[in-house]
Structure 1
Amino acid sequence: MEKFIVKGEVQLNGTIRMSGAKNAILPIMAATLLCSGISIIHDVPYLRDIKVMQDILALLGAKITREKNTLVIDTTIIQDTEIPEHLMREMRASVFLMGPMLGRFHKVRMSYPGGCAIGPRPIDLHIKALEKIGADVKEGFGFIEAQTNCLTGGEINFDYPSVGATENAMMAAVLAKGSTIIRNAAREPEIYDLQVFLNKMGAKVMGAGSDIIRVDGTEKLTATEHIVMSDRIQAGTFLVAGAITRGDVMVENILSEHLFSVTDKLKEMGVQITTGKNYIRVQSGDLRGVDIKTLPYPGFPTDLQAPMLSLVTNGKGTSIITETIFENRFKHVDELIRMGAKIKVEGRTAIIRGIPKLTGAIVAAHDLRAGGALVLAALAAEGTSEIENVYHIDRGYEALEEKLRSLGANISRHKKD
């Protein structure tokens, strides 16, 4: 077990480059199972979730090598269609394997996926979508078994625009007979990146980024090479780091259009935002409160709710943050209160009364984004903070302490006593 020790009140300044997006890489890694051959994925960060997906693919029979930030995945010989339970429990994104396995091998068996405990994330939308195109899915004794004689195109209408279910449906449909229409599809940029990858393989997918996606099935796909899109959630976290420390931070290798909902809120708080073709710059001074409501893309991302909550604790006046995506995504609140924050939670709404300065404390990360939020709070707090359970943070932030130190932060990683 490791912890971060952070000495606060250090202004961050400088430039930081974003690596590939975890939320784009994981479904793309799953999609390599759709064909036999060697796929090459560039700009892959070292993250715990990505290592878990590597382990799953390897146990299924794939051969994986890594050279710096490039993954080479050989799916020529896949020996198993059952995904090990202990790995499924480590990561929610393991559910992405259902669609590709059904598409290529017509069967899959897995336990229910795990991941961060941020609220119920039922996979019924995944199952219903796969059933719409010909999968026979049975659930029992903690396992899901799906099989099909032949996937066939159909109409999938989601009750809610689920990112994972949209991606699973896309991957299953590319090898189905006929055409599949996905309505009320999620619109996140990572879904468009998956479309690009699938089409490089020879799939016929169009409409990603809108709420209607069409997939025309094809008989065979071929392995390909791809540079993953940059991580907009990581970028948003570093923008908030610049703002909360009253610094001047430029984030490179990021499309500003992917973060309009975030930069607009930062502007409301008084942060100066400058954007270019491939960068966003924040320059921060006095902050004022703001109201935020998380929504599916292009609304404010739930993955940046926790970092923004840390930021508004330092803003003048009162802020209100409403979480509409996950019901248990305020676990960082009790930890911020230990640092002096004035926060009251009522259901899915947090009411924050800004104070001049947080104070250092010993706190614990309960999930990935909550952990990032606590690091941000510690950067601005008076005195020294210790953040425990950093393994959660390692799931989605590559070498976070090293990147923050490159901007001037006083943060180090230590073994927990």
Structure 2
Amino acid sequence: MNPEKCEYIVRPSRLQGKVKVSGAKNSALRLLAASLLTDEKIELTNYPANLLDAQIHVGMLEALGKKCVVEDEKITIYEEKAPLKILNWNKRSIRNTLLILGALVSRIGEAKVPLPGGCNLGERKFDLHEMLLRNMGAKVWIEDNMLCAKAENGLKGADIFLPIRSTGATENSMICGSLAEGITRVWNPHIQPEILDLARFLNEMGAKIEIFGQEHIKITGVKKLFGTRHSVIADNIEAVTWLIASVITGGDIEIIDFPFKDVEVTLIHLRQSGAKYYLGDNSLIVRGGTPYPVEISTGPYPEIKSDVQPLFAVYGACAKGSSKIVDLRFPGRYCYTSELAKMGLQYNINGNILEIIGGNPLNGAQVRALDLRAGIALALAGLVAKGETRILDAWQIERGYDNFVEKLISLGGNIRYG
């Protein structure tokens, strides 16, 4: 697939059948970065091998000297020699280069990586990553579009005070602290499922990480980390995507490996807003339902994730009445509405409040996926719009959804590549 020419063509569909949730993008990428902390073999199962961002990350590991073998839903990472200090990479970057930087500095004392990429969500700076590296004794600077760091005497344990609950800074603190000398404490961390998965993974490698709720994380540095075999947690955003897709299309689907505990607040909001679902042993059965208007705000876990709010916008568009969305994580993250408007969405933005005027028919149109979550919102809208929806830059969706087209077709979705 040529990403620059990747298009989806979507037509109205009613979803039926079974679908399995893949391993979480936001966990798998962190685990890949953390694999740089050891020279021993790492195996990840339930691994979302077809994610474009995962493939980019594997390419980066290989550019640093790692050997990666991908088989179905498993990746095995080997090392034959110490990783390089400089990540020379002239392809699309991802935000995870910040964690690669932390892992390399933690293990070999210095590194240079490309400036981070990822979704353009406005103010997503990396000042907290610079701060934590400096607090732990590293020098940090930018040189020729590369983010550079060096700790001549190795990283030292420190108290890291996060002014906001930053996911990335919490992750990097754990990665850097695992091999640092002494004790690192992270205050006001962002504790969420992917953070807990990373902590479990690092502890399986021999790290000493203790989590004290949302108050702080204690990391006692060790001399060496070891190889391990670890199963990636299920992707809670993908799970919610299939749930919402089923409700708005009047579908009847069973979502296998549904991560109930990770999306409890989201499930409550959807049930109160007309979704009908039933809990199985490890699956969620979504059967019927009628979308009602929603009023949600995003926030740190366990609140609704910012990545999910574009899906709620489509849900609100299918409901008769006014829905309101407030994104407290990334204020103003509503750029996707201009693309949905091409399909007939009526909306107002007042400050950081997005109002969706629902109940109006959506019509197929040519639209563009401005980022990953904007793209999936357009795909869901295409399932309920009259006529054909053509989504340009659909590669954005494949950055974060494993085998999306194949899964949607298996559920009866009318979708194909353009």
TM-score by length of 1: 0.95
Q: CA deviation at 1:201?
A: 0.6
Which whole-Å CA distance do the structure 1 matches of 2:80 and 2:379 have between them? 42
- Provide the rounded CA distance (Å) in 1 between the counterparts of 2:291 and 2:225: 52
Matching residue of 2:33: 30
1:406, distance to aligned residue in structure 2 (A): 1.2
CA contact (8 A) 1:187 1:211 kept: no
Structure 1 residues 60-80: Cα deviation after superposition (integer angstroms, max 9, x where no partner): 111111111111111341341
1:388 corresponds to which of 392, 402, 409: 392
Does the residue aligned with 1:329 lie in a helix, a strand or coil?
coil
1:358 CA displacement: 1.2
Most deviating of 384-393 and 348-357: 348-357
The one-letter code sitting in structure 1 at the alignment partner of 2:86 is E
Structure 2 partner of 1:109? 112
Q: Which residue of 2 aligns with 1:276?
A: 280
CA distance in 2, matches of 1:126, 1:250: 40
Mapped partners of 2:25, 2:160: distance in 1: 26
Once the 2 structures are TM-superposed, how far is the Cα of residue 285 of structure 1 from its aligned partner? Answer: 2.9
Give the C-alpha shift of residue 393 in structure 1: 0.7
**Equivalents in 2 of 1:277, 1:95: separation in Å?**
38
Is the contact between residue 187 and residue 208 of structure 1 (CA under 8 Å) also seen in structure 2?
Answer: no
Instruction: Tell me if structure 2 keeps the 8 A contact 1:38–1:74.
Output: yes
Partner of 2:196 in structure 1? 192
In 2: Cα distance, 1:123 partner to 1:226 partner: 28
Q: Match for residue 245 of structure 1?
A: 249
The structure 1 residue matched to 2:147, chosen from 144, 149, 169, is: 144
Q: How many residues align?
A: 412
1-structure distance, mates of 2:83, 2:180: 22
| Alignment partner, residue 101 of structure 2 | 98
Structure 2 unaligned regions, length at least 5:
none
Tell me which moved more, 27-36 or 321-330. Answer: 321-330
Residues 341 and 355 in structure 1, CA contact (< 8 A), matched pair in contact too: no
Q: Do structure 1's residue 229 and structure 2's residue 222 form an aligned pair?
A: no
Whether 2:101 is the aligned partner of 1:70: answer no
Give the fraction of aligned pairs with identical amino acids, expressed as a percent. Answer: 35
Q: Alpha-carbon deviation of 1:44?
A: 1.3
| Aligned-pair Cα RMSD in Å | 1.5
TM-score w.r.t. the length of structure 2 is 0.95
Work out whether 1:50 is the aligned partner of 2:54.
yes
1:243 is matched by which residue type in structure 2?
Answer: V
After TM superposition, the structure 1 = structure 2 runs for residues 356-371 of structure 1, keeping only pairs within 5 Å, are: 356-371=360-375
Specify whether residues 307 and 183 from structure 1 end up closer, same or farther in structure 2 by C-alpha distance, changes over 3 A only. Answer: same
Cα offset, 1:103, TM superposition: 1.2
* Structure 1 residues 358 and 66: CA distance shift in structure 2, 3 A: same
1:240-389 aligned within 5 A? 240-327=244-331, 329-389=333-393
Equivalent AA in structure 2 for residue 410 of structure 1: N
Alignment-derived partner of residue 15 in structure 2: 12
- Counterpart of 1:131 in structure 2 is 134
- The CA deviation string for residues 91-119 of structure 1, in whole angstroms up to 9 with x for no partner, is 11221112211111011112321111121
